[in-house]
Amino acid sequence: MSDKPLTPRMIVEKLDRYIIGQKDAKRAVAIALRNRWRRQNVPGELRDEISPKNIIMIGPTGVGKTEIARRLAKIDNAPFLKVEASKFTEVGYVGRDVESMIRDLVELAVNMVRTEEQDKVQTKAAELAEERLLDILLPLRPVEKRPEEILADHHDDEDTEVPQRSGATRERFRRFLREGRLDDRLVEVEIQETRAAPMVEIFSSAGMEDVGMNLKDAFGSIFPQKKTTKKVTVPEALEILSQEEAARLVDMDKVTRTAMERVEQSGIVFLDEIDKIVGSDAPHGPDVSREGVQRDLLPIVEGSNVNTRYGMIRTDHILFIAAGAFSVVKPSDLIPEMQGRFPIRVELDSLGREEFIRILTEPHNALIKQYVEMIATEGVALRFSEDAIAEIAETAALVNERTENIGARRLYTIMETLLDEVSFDAPEMEEKSVDITAEYVREKLEDIVEDEDLSRYIL
C-alpha cells in the first residue's frame, strides 16, 4: 500500500471512474482495503490477530462484481487473481487443488515485482545493451576484409567509416545507431534458448499438481539453457540485449521476497461462482463433493501455510472476495465455518436502461469512447447522438429481458453488431465521418431484435 493510504471515500471516488452504481459494494471493498492499513498500524501483538473482512458479493452476472475487485487491486497495486470456485474439486477427486490458486497468485506477484524492478533499471540496461551492440558492430579483433565488404549491407553514407578500435569511430557508430541510420542492418546476437525438459506425466489426486513444477525446475538444472545465434535487425538486437541486461540487473532474491510479502499482506483472491459449490439438501450425489470443496477452501480462507516453488506462504491476511448469483441457493447454505469467514455481504443491483446509458458514456473507459478512438485511428470520426445511445441502452435492456440477463455484457455484443459494417469498411471509406443516430441503430438491429431466436444467437 502507498505511503499516503486512501480513505474509503477516496477509494469509492476512484471506483466511480470506472464502475456505475453499486454504492454498497464499493463502500464494502473500500472499508476492507482501508482496514489493511489500519491493521498494519495497530500494536504488534494485535496485528497478527486481526483477520481480513472477507466479502460475499451477491448479484447476477454482468453487474460489476469482478470489475470492482479488479479495480480495487489496481488501486492498491496488489496481486490479484480471479478464479472460478466451480473449477476446484474435493481432495480425492480428479481436478484442481484449492491451494493452486495461492501458487498462481504468487507467480503473478513475482512477475509483477520483476516487471517493476526491470522498469527501474531500464535506463541502465539500455546503456549496457548499446555498448554490447557496438561491440558486435565494431569487431575488436583485426579483420582481413576490406572496408567496403565490412559495410556492404550498410547505407552508402558519406559519413560511414570502417569499424576500428578507435574511440572516435565508436562514437561515430553510436551516433549512427541513435539516429536510426543502422536500423536496416542485420547483426548476429547470441540468445539463450530454452530447452524443453523431458515430458513427464503424473496421474494423481489433487494436491500433487505442483510436482510437475518441481520436476521442471530440477530438469532445468540438469539440462541447462544453451545459447543460439540469431540474425536480427539492429533495433531487434537492441531490444533483445536490453531485456537480457535488465534481467541481469534485477536481484531475483529481492524480487521473490517482495512478491511473497506483497501476497501475504495485500493479495486479493476473487472467488467467482461460489454459489456453484453450495449443495442442496440432497444427502448424496455431487452435492457431497461441493461441500467437500468448501471444506478444502476453509483452511486457505481461515489462514494456513501453502507450499510454493518460492517457499511457504501464509494466507492469514489475504483478502478473499467471493461472488455469485445465489439465485437457487442462499449464502446461509454455505457451511457454517465458511459463513463465518465471510462476514460482509453486499447485494448488487440489476442494471437497466438508465444504468446502460451511463455505462456507455460516463466511465473513463466507456464503450462509446473506446469505439470512437479505435475508428479514429483510420481517420474516420465516429459520432453518437444522445438518442442513439438511448436506443442502444433500450435494446440491451430489451434483449436481456427476453433472453438470459447478462447485464452490461450485453452492451458489448450489441456494439459489435451495430458497428460491424463501419469497422470493416473504415480503412477504405471516402466519407471521413459517420453519424450514429437512433434511426441508424434501429435499422441495423431491428430485424435481429424482432426475431427472438436470432437475437439469442447474435445479441
Residue that wins the pLDDT comparison between 9 and 184: 9
C-alpha cell at 82: 480471479
Mean pLDDT, the chain, whole residue set: 80
Q: Is 268 exposed, middle or buried (0-12, 13-18, 19+ CB in 10 A)?
A: buried
**Residue 111 has what pLDDT?**
92
Tell how strand 319-324 and strand 55-58 pair up. Answer: parallel
Helix (H) or strand (E) holding 383: strand 381-384
**Residue 194 has what pLDDT?**
52
**Residue 31 has what pLDDT?**
92
C-alpha cell at 54: 472477507
CB 52 within 8 A of CB 32: yes
Q: What's the predicted TM-score (pTM) here?
A: 0.76
**Structural domains of the chain ordered from first start:** 8-115+259-347 (3.40.50.300), 122-249 (no CATH), 353-448 (1.10.8.60)
Residue that wins the pLDDT comparison between 329 and 167: 329
Q: Which has the closest alpha carbon to 351: 300, 286, 413, 396?
A: 396
CB 207 within 8 A of CB 99: yes
Residues 301 and 274: their CA atoms lie apart, in Å, by 13
CB 282 within 8 A of CB 84: no
Give the tens place of pLDDT for each residue, 424-433: 998 988 888 8
> Torsion angle of alpha carbons 40, 46, 49, 54, nearest 10°?
-40
What residues form DSSP beta bridges with 187?
232
* Backbone torsions φ then ψ of 229, nearest 5 degrees: -95, 135
Mean pLDDT of 314-340: 89
C-alpha cell at 108: 503473478
Length of the chain: 459
Per-residue pLDDT band at 93 (split at 50, 70, 90)? low
Give the tens place of pLDDT for each residue, 213-242: 555 555 555 555 667 787 888 888 888 888
Residues 218 and 198: their CA atoms lie apart, in Å, by 11
Residues 125 and 131: their CA atoms lie apart, in Å, by 10
Instruction: List % helix, strand, coil for the chain (3-state, nearest 5).
Output: 55, 15, 35
Per-residue pLDDT band at 203 (split at 50, 70, 90)? very low
The DSSP symbol for 341 reads T
Q: What percent of the chain has pLDDT over 90?
A: 28
Give yes or no for residue 163 having a pLDDT over 80: no
Give the tens place of pLDDT for each residue, 39-91: 888 887 888 888 888 999 998 888 888 899 889 888 888 899 888 887 876 55
**Residue 350 has what pLDDT?**
87
Give the tens place of pLDDT for each residue, 101-131: 899 999 999 999 999 998 888 888 888 888 8
Which region holds residue 268: left if phi is over 0, alpha if psi is between -120 and 50, else beta? beta
List Cβ neighbours of 4 (8 Å cut-off, separation of 6 or more): none
Residues 69 and 82: their CA atoms lie apart, in Å, by 9
C-alpha cell at 227: 545459447
**Residue 160 has what pLDDT?**
44
User: Within 13 Å of residue 314, how many CA atoms lie on the same side as its CB?
Assistant: 7
Give the tens place of pLDDT for each residue, 363-422: 988 999 999 999 999 999 999 999 999 999 999 998 888 888 888 888 998 999 899 999
Give yes or no for residue 149 having a pLDDT over 80: no
Q: Taking the CA atoms of the chain, what radius of gyration do you get in angstroms?
A: 28
Amino acid at 436: I
What residues form DSSP beta bridges with 10?
none
Mean pLDDT of 27-34: 91
What residues form DSSP beta bridges with 227?
192
Tell how strand 80-84 and strand 186-193 pair up. Answer: unpaired
